[in-house]
Structure 1
Amino acid sequence: MRPRVLACTACHGKEGRATPGGYFPRIAGKPAGYLYNQLLNFRDGRRSYPQMSRLLEHLTDDYLREIAGYFSALDLPYVSAAPVPASRALIERGRQLVRHGDEGRKIPACVQCHGDAMTGVAPFVPGLLGLSREYVGSQLGAWQTGQRRAQAPDCMAEIARQLTVEDVGAVSAWLAAQAVPGQGKPAMSFKGELTMPCGSVRPPHASAPATGRGAR
């Protein structure tokens, strides 16, 4: 597969480790189900990025699954987290939202779905560490505006729409400032029950919304 994915690494960096500025995110070592879902989303129009859509428009589901499996199997070190210029208050607000959410505003903690270590949950939920502040912020903004969508029920879009501009800045700053533990390996199961159905944590085209411990 290596010579066949050169088009991917041209943007996502050597072996899919991400570009130095972080605009193109790391794909190496991400859960295979997550990568496959995102390839489908770009190809089928749920995510808006013309270069990706054109690259994938003629590829079959099986080929996309092979690409996802290739990058998921890569076990490569992460670079150290760069200093994030942000106030202590902003960083602390980000930590609170990531670790505890905001119950009064019906915002669940990020760790509920993305794992206590924030390295994701196999096979469908990605880790949120090792990404740049700009990339995380831009993706939350894309969820808010509908430029990024997932299979229904679209839980991330619902959550993102509850976030203020300040919340997005705080979460992005805190996540970008954290070191990646354990080589970024995803957890193998959710720690507790999920509080909302989410189409992203079930196989594509599955008929029932996924909730709880079986939603992997």
Structure 2
Amino acid sequence: MMKPLRKLLPALSLLLALAAAPSPAAPFEDTIAQRALACTLCHGKEGRAAADGYYPRLAGKPQGYLYKQLLNFRDGRRHYGPMSELIDPLSDDYLRELAGYFAALELPYPPPQRPGLAPAALERARALVLHGDPARQLPACVQCHGQQLSGAQPFIPGLLGLSRDYLNGQLGAWRSGLRRAVAPDCMAQVAKRLSLDEINAVSQWLAAQPPPPGMKPAAAPPEQPLPLECGGLR
């Protein structure tokens, strides 16, 4: 009985060695889609936005807008350490390519969020979004972001399909000066004319609006002159 067993030992050893050997690594695809996976660790699968509400959606935003925001992080006009460090060594051309990848994605938007404010506060927010406040030289959101609030190519983002926490945080950052854009910074002017209560109400009203079916940025900005000069649109 021992002889046959001794004859089998080399074969058994080979089988055990093959089983223990690591499997070949999957080939790395050197594509922008593969490299963009690093962004999805925070911004959610395919750039749909993170569940915590603070990392915004990237998919489907205008390429020019995404590119400008990457430049703002890299050049110090927006501040978030991990983001700035990640893109600091990247070239303008690479950032433009990355922005183009996410801009081309067509993905469903999340369901709207239920607001937690009284009807009167939400009605005031609706009026500010749709009509502004001429007495305070406060333009309506729709004057720049479009009647459907879906944004416009190449630089104006949509305002729907975003979480209230993200909207509230960004408007607050513009109001405090933590977030900036190339001068003249029109969004900083708008945010500083809003009270904190109005920022909260506008954020909640916008987050509660369902995006229209198949929402995409308009092909071009509104034809009429914009109410404020914006350096970020150049």
TM-score by length of 2: 0.84
- Aligned-partner SS, 1:184: coil
Tell me the CA shift for residue 200 of structure 1.
1.4
Any gaps of 5 or more consecutive residues in structure 1? 203-216
How much has 1:84 moved relative to structure 2? 1.7
More displaced stretch, 161-170 vs 67-76? 161-170
Q: Which has the larger radius of gyration?
A: 2
Provide the C-alpha distance between the structure 2 equivalents of 1:4 and 1:187, rounded to a whole number of angstroms. Answer: 28
Matched position secondary structure for 1:183: coil
- Secondary structure of the residue aligned to 2:116 is coil
Q: Do residues 193 (structure 1) and 196 (structure 2) align?
A: no
- Does residue 1:135 correspond to 2:166, yes or no? yes
The alignment of Structure 1 onto Structure 2 pairs a total of residues equal to 202
Partners of 1:179 and 1:186 lie apart in 2 by 15
Structure 1 residue 3 displacement after superposition: 1.2
1:78/1:183 contact within 8 Å kept = no
Aligned residue runs from structure 1 range 93-172, under 5 A:
93-172=124-203
SS of 1:195 mapped into structure 2: coil
Partner amino acid, structure 2, of 1:58: P
Q: Using the TM superposition, give the Cα deviation of residue 146 of structure 1 relative to its aligned residue in structure 2, in angstroms.
A: 1.1
Deviations 1:27-77 (A, max 9, x none): 000000000000000000000111110001000000000000000000111
In structure 2, stretches of 5+ residues that fail to align are 1-31
Q: 78, 98, 102: which one pairs with 1:47?
A: 78
**Identical columns (%):** 58
Shift of 1:21: 2.7
Q: Distance in 2 between matches of 1:156 and 1:42?
A: 16
- State the distance in 2 between where 1:106 and 1:26 align: 30
Measured against aligned partners, the alpha-carbon deviations of 1:159-182 in whole angstroms (never above 9, x if no partner) come to 111110111011101101000113
| 1:35 matched residue in structure 2 | 66
Matched, 1:22 2:57: no
Q: How far apart, CA to CA, are the structure 2 residues paired with 1:62 and 1:140?
A: 29
- Per the TM alignment, residue 191 of structure 1 is displaced from its structure 2 partner at its CA by 4.5
SS at match of 2:115: coil
What is the RMSD computed on CA atoms of the aligned residues?
A: 0.9
Q: Are 1:77 and 2:108 an aligned pair?
A: yes
Q: Is 1:3–2:34 an aligned residue pair?
A: yes
